[in-house]
Amino acid sequence: MSQLHGSLPAVGVFGGTFDPIHYGHLRSALELVERLQLRQLRLMPCAVPPHRDAPSCDAGHRAAMVELAVAGEPRLACDSRELARAGTSYTIDSLTELRSELGEDCSLSLVMGCDAVLEITTWHRWQELLDRAHVVVIARPGWQLPDSGPVAQWLREHRLLDSRELHRRACGSILVEELRPLAISSTEIRELLAAGRSARYLLPQVVLEYIQAHNLYQ
């Protein structure tokens, strides 16, 4: 599936817990759409994460907040496929579904932060991810990529230096993009809200209103 083509349409998928979604996710998503000339970037909330404790609020609420956050920006969308699948949400299963929906002549990029890349060898069937998609790593404040070990080797073997290459293949490459650093995390937002403090201006107001209306993170 990784033969070279002229210029393929490109779609991205950004997986996360989004508990809740915030401007760190949203700004990174939009910067990637513009920089990589993606037709669309789908934010895909994980229903049952394999690698962490159960999220604070259920997947339905987290997806609803993603929907609200991207409304009005046609280049971003919420992809709720993992909510519809029973059991643990494995990214490889979502990429397999996406690949069969998009066809083989579409460049598909899985977006993840450095924190996710550092743990990639613990992901279910991680070595097959590049058979379905490219991987785009967001360089994030406070995180550094390793220079030795299996992740470093994986990066060395597949890393692209020119983002235009993403449009020439459907899958199989890794790109590391440094984006505007926004030191915002969902953990901090949950802690602020639990302490009765304001999280305003760290996430869209419409998401904050949803949180208040549903008494989340108290």
Question: Sign (positive/negative) of CA torsion 168, 132, 121, 78?
Answer: positive
Work out whether 204 is an interface residue with ligand ATP (CB under 6 A): no
Cα 171 from Cα 69, distance rounded (Å): 28
* Residues 103-122 within binding reach of ligand ATP (CB under 6 A): 112-113, 115-116
> Where in 21-173 does DSSP place strands (E)?
40-45, 76-78, 107-113, 134-139
CB of 93 to ligand ATP, least distance (A): 18
Nearer to ligand ATP, 166 or 203 (CB): 203
H/E stretch holding 20: none
Beta bridge partners of 14: 43, 111
* Position 102, amino acid: L
Cα 110 from Cα 102, distance rounded (Å): 14
Work out whether 17 is an interface residue with ligand ATP (CB under 6 A): yes
Work out whether 135 is an interface residue with ligand ATP (CB under 6 A): no
107, 140, 170, 216: which one binds ligand ATP (CB under 6 A): 140
Closest residue to ligand ATP, based on beta-carbon distance: 113
Name the residues that contact ligand ATP, by CB under 6 A: 16-19, 24-25, 28, 112-113, 115-116, 138, 140, 182, 184-187
